[in-house]
């Protein structure tokens, strides 16, 4: 340990004073030295081979199971909210920065299609009235003595862009996605945060009209989001709905250390060690601390207007019901196993369930194990958190997906795998990725409690080898940063995982502002 710290140019006191564990930092430094380990894919999970397709008959039963569980007060919605929406407005920021070198006639002309940034700007300006924030933007521009339609007619597009982005206007480039108006209704515009509140009311409300949801937010946006949430919830509280909203920020102790290209700690101009947020994988700590039971996870930008929410609610009920159904059987088996009063016939029944329903790949020598060894094996495999993950058909989206992964012991397990975890230089691994049929939309329901009703310590089920190293820069100097195992891939690697085929309509992310022009985000 001492040698690792000395080689990296850091002292124990510098770690302890920050409230971090020396062992964690040493582990991070060792990863920089040896490099990350790629995931070894066996094949994609497909319908009938790792991805369940729920029948209509089964759907009715699962929705009933889900309804009973949620009515009893077990549900909670967990939303990893973003920091500033800078990436959402990246092209507009580029246009504003380079505007003096742009021919505005070209920006709004047919030739704009030849330049991605110009085409993006063309679409934004020509469709400005279709955005849910149009009325607010128009009013701000009017308050400054201007008229938005006159600005467009005169080719003064930069003014419109700047009033959208910066603090003399909407300031959207500095706000989190959760505070940007996404959808327009007759009653006014709604932000993603408001849409998530509406969703929570519809699928985690119990029989006493209590609704629980939790947002993880950036510290700099916490107060603004709290104020916005309270204002939005007041509307529904007047209708007698008791909405309990929790907030948390990413714990500073989950930050990771940055190093230079020689793997020595990166120091700022003030000689301070640079620590960086460890990525969304650090949110496993937040999830671990919310005192949850049945927890639905969904990204902040994956929301639709009310007219399309029906399918979202339906499939939340289906995957939620499947989770509870699996829990019932798992808990029954665990109680039997814990007594030790099971015979070979009962163990065989459990093994079939583990294989066919939980996709647990039994070791090849399982049938040769003694009864006691089988009991111990199944107890450990069953006694862990369960997640049911909706998967949509892949239509070219970039990101993670469901795969059968080869484990060190020779068994396979179903995992959500991000592209950064895969060695795309390997022809076999690349072919495996290219043959994938499904994509991970982050539509997950988690069972966080064990058979005694006690919440698992989720930090005990993380695969710490699934982090990755990213190249970054600070003040013009290159550095390497460590991203912790992602929340739904490495941080949940040792959970029991079940994938379910869900329709594409349940996945409608907003990665850029122009995604809001898609039919799914327009109120019809």
| pLDDT computed for residue 467 by the predictor | 85
3-state per-residue secondary structure call for 154-190: CCCHHHHHHHHHCCCCCCCCCCEHHHCCCEEECCEEE
| Mean pLDDT value of segment 247-252 | 87
Distance between CA atoms of 176 and 222, rounded to whole angstroms?
A: 10
Q: Does 201 map to a domain?
A: no
| pLDDT computed for residue 347 by the predictor | 97
Distance between CA atoms of 34 and 356, rounded to whole angstroms?
A: 37
Residues 369, 394 within the same domain: yes
102 confidence band (pLDDT: 50, 70, 90): low
State yes or no: pLDDT of 295 exceeds 80.
Answer: yes
| pLDDT computed for residue 106 by the predictor | 56
Structural domain including 75 reads 2-83+278-521
Dump pLDDT digits (tens) for 32-82.
Answer: 888 888 899 999 999 999 999 999 999 999 999 999 999 999 999 999 976
Q: Are strands 386-393 and 401-406 parallel, antiparallel or unpaired?
A: unpaired
The percentage of the chain sitting over the pLDDT mark of 90, rounded to a whole number, equals: 72
Residues 124, 76 within the same domain: no
Fill in the DSSP letter of residue 259.
B
| pLDDT computed for residue 255 by the predictor | 86
Look over the chain and give the mean of its residue pLDDT values, rounded to a whole number: 92
State yes or no: pLDDT of 522 exceeds 60.
Answer: yes
Residues 402, 496 within the same domain: yes
| pLDDT computed for residue 46 by the predictor | 97
3-state per-residue secondary structure call for 350-409: HHHHHHHCCCCCCCCCHHHCCHHHHHHHHHHHHCCCEEEEEEEECCCCCCCEEEEEECCC
Q: Does 248 map to a domain?
A: no
Contact 203, 76 (CB under 8 A): no
Report the candidate in 240, 230, 235 with the shortest Cα–Cα distance to residue 210: 240
Distance between CA atoms of 164 and 173, rounded to whole angstroms?
A: 8
Fill in the DSSP letter of residue 300.
T
Contact 334, 382 (CB under 8 A): yes
Q: Does 270 map to a domain?
A: no
Dump pLDDT digits (tens) for 160-205.
Answer: 999 999 999 999 999 999 999 999 999 999 999 999 999 999 999 9
| pLDDT computed for residue 242 by the predictor | 97
Handedness of CA 196, 201, 202, 205 (dihedral sign): positive
The percentage of the chain sitting over the pLDDT mark of 70, rounded to a whole number, equals: 96
313 confidence band (pLDDT: 50, 70, 90): very high
96 confidence band (pLDDT: 50, 70, 90): confident
| pLDDT computed for residue 399 by the predictor | 72
Distance between CA atoms of 449 and 226, rounded to whole angstroms?
A: 28
Q: What residues contact residue 146 under an 8 Å CB cut-off, 6+ apart?
A: 159
Residues 420, 301 within the same domain: yes
- Which of these three, 140, 165, 190, is where a domain ends? 165
Ramachandran class of 109: left when φ > 0, alpha when ψ lies in -120 to 50, beta otherwise: beta
pTM of structure = 0.92
Residues 507, 392 within the same domain: yes
113 confidence band (pLDDT: 50, 70, 90): low
Total number of domains in the chain: 2
Residues 48, 133 within the same domain: no
Q: Does 172 map to a domain?
A: no
Distance between CA atoms of 156 and 151, rounded to whole angstroms?
A: 5
- Which of these three, 165, 181, 214, is where a domain ends? 165
């Amino acid at each position: 340990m001492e040698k690792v710290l000395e080689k990296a140019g850091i002292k124990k006191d510098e770690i302890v004073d920050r409230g971090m564990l020396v062992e964690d930092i040493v582990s991070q430094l060792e990863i920089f030295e040896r490099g990350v380990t790629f995931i070894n894919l066996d094949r994609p999970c497909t319908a009938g081979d790792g991805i369940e397709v729920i029948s209509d008959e089964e759907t009715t039963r699962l929705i009933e199971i889900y309804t009973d569980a949620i009515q009893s007060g077990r549900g909670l919605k967990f939303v990893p909210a973003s920091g500033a929406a800078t990436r959402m407005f990246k092209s507009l920021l580029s246009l504003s920065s380079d505007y003096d070198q742009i021919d505005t006639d070209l920006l709004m002309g047919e030739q704009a299609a030849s330049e991605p940034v110009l085409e993006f700007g063309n679409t934004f300006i020509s469709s400005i009235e279709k955005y849910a924030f149009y009325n607010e933007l128009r009013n701000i521009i009017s308050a400054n003595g201007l008229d938005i339609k006159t600005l467009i007619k005169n080719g003064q597009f930069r003014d419109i862009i700047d009033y959208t982005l910066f603090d003399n206007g909407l300031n959207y480039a500095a706000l989190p996605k959760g505070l940007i108006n996404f959808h327009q209704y007759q009653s006014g515009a709604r932000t993603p945060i408001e849409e998530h509140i509406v969703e929570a009311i519809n699928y985690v409300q119990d029989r006493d009209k209590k609704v629980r949801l939790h947002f993880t937010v950036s510290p700099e946006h916490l107060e603004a989001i709290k104020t916005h949430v309270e204002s939005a919830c007041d509307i529904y509280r007047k209708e007698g709905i008791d909405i309990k909203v929790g907030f948390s920020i990413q714990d500073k102790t989950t930050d990771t250390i940055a190093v230079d290209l020689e793997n020595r700690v990166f120091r700022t101009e003030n000689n301070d060690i640079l620590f960086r947020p460890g990525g969304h994988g650090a949110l496993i700590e937040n999830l671990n601390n919310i005192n949850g039971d049945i927890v639905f996870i969904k990204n902040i930008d994956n929301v639709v207007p009310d007219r399309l929410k029906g399918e979202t609610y339906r499939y939340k009920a289906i995957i939620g019901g499947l989770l509870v159904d699996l829990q019932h059987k798992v808990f029954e088996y665990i109680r039997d196993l814990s007594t030790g009063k099971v015979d070979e016939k009962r163990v065989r029944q459990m093994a079939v369930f583990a294989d066919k329903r939980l996709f647990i790949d039994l070791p090849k020598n399982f049938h040769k194990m003694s009864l006691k060894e089988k009991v111990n094996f199944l107890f450990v495999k069953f006694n862990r958190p369960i997640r049911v993950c909706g998967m949509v058909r892949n239509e070219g989206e970039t990101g993670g997906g469901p795969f059968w992964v080869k484990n060190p012991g020779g068994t396979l397990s179903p995992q959500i795998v991000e592209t950064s975890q895969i060695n795309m230089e390997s022809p076999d691994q690349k072919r495996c990725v290219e043959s994938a049929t499904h994509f991970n939309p982050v539509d997950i329901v988690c069972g966080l409690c064990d058979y005694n009703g006690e919440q698992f310590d989720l930090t005990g089920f993380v695969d710490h080898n699934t982090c990755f190293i990213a190249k970054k820069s600070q003040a013009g100097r290159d550095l390497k940063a460590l991203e912790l195992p992602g929340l739904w891939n490495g941080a949940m690697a040792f959970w029991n995982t079940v994938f379910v085929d869900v329709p594409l309509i349940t996945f409608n992310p907003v990665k850029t502002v122009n995604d809001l022009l898609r039919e799914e985000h327009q109120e019809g």
